[in-house]
Amino acid sequence: MDALKERILQEGKNLGRGILKIDSFLNHQIDALLMEQVGVYIAAAFRQTQPTRILTAEVSGIIPATMTAKAMGNLPVVYARKHKPITMQEPVYVDQAPSHTKGGQVMLMVSPEFLFAGDRVLIVDDFLASGRTIDALARIVQNSGATLVGIAAVVEKTFEEGRAALLHWGVPIVSAAMITDMTEGKIVVD
């Protein structure tokens, strides 16, 4: 996706330790038109898998997941919460994943009210890096009895090898932009 790649190169900041700051259009401030284009791109890649629901992690995955859902005909979007609100009744589907930007582990929780055994689930997230957050989401899908049909990311950092960590799920994996190198302060987009 050329528009996304250009924005990464123009506005992205390499903060070191593999952290890419793209707060000006995704992770803090949202460029709705660009995210709509990302959603159309992801929807086109997965239309044949016929998802019935999209799953993401809060917070930064919500916008690209929603735009993908809209482009696919208004599918429901469920986001795994990191903090359990009092309105979320037990039991819940729960798994944990490390947070690269927050440091430490985060819990991901989804209410069974919104994820069903008959669902065909597409996971959409902002980043694919180590793959551990997406892997935790996939385990939640598996534990619900639903079928995982695909994995999508807005940005993939290929040098962190997360794609390889997710291949065991046996589903298509698509990224709108791929970062191949962030050494010595640079950002190389493929």
Confidence of residue 102 (pLDDT cuts 50, 70, 90): low
Confidence of residue 86 (pLDDT cuts 50, 70, 90): confident
pLDDT above 80 (res 132) = yes
pLDDT above 80 (res 91) = yes
SS3 (DSSP) at 187: coil
Residues 6+ apart with CB under 8 A from 16: 185
pLDDT above 90 (res 60) = yes
Q: What is the pLDDT of residue 101?
A: 64
Q: What is the CATH number of the domain that holds 137?
A: 3.40.50.2020
Q: What is the pLDDT of residue 87?
A: 85
Confidence of residue 123 (pLDDT cuts 50, 70, 90): very high
Name the domain count of the chain: 1
Question: Does residue 59 have a cis peptide bond before it, meaning omega lies within 30 degrees of 0?
Answer: yes
Q: What are phi and psi of 8, to 5 degrees?
A: -60, -45
Mean pLDDT of 90-103: 83
What one-character-per-residue DSSP string does 103-136 give?
A: -SEEEEEE-GGG--TT-EEEEEEEEESSSHHHHH
Nearest to 120 by CA among 49, 19, 30, 185: 49
Nearest to 56 by CA among 145, 147, 154: 154
Q: Half-sphere exposure (CA, 13 Å, Cβ side) for 16? A: 0
Tens-digit pLDDT profile for residues 142-185: 999 999 999 999 999 999 999 999 999 999 999 999 999 999 99
Which domain does 159 fall in, by range? 2-189
pLDDT above 80 (res 103) = no
How far CA 170 is from CA of 106, 154, 164, in Å, comes to 25, 20, 11
CB-CB contact of 162 with 98 (8 Å): no
CB-CB contact of 66 with 150 (8 Å): no
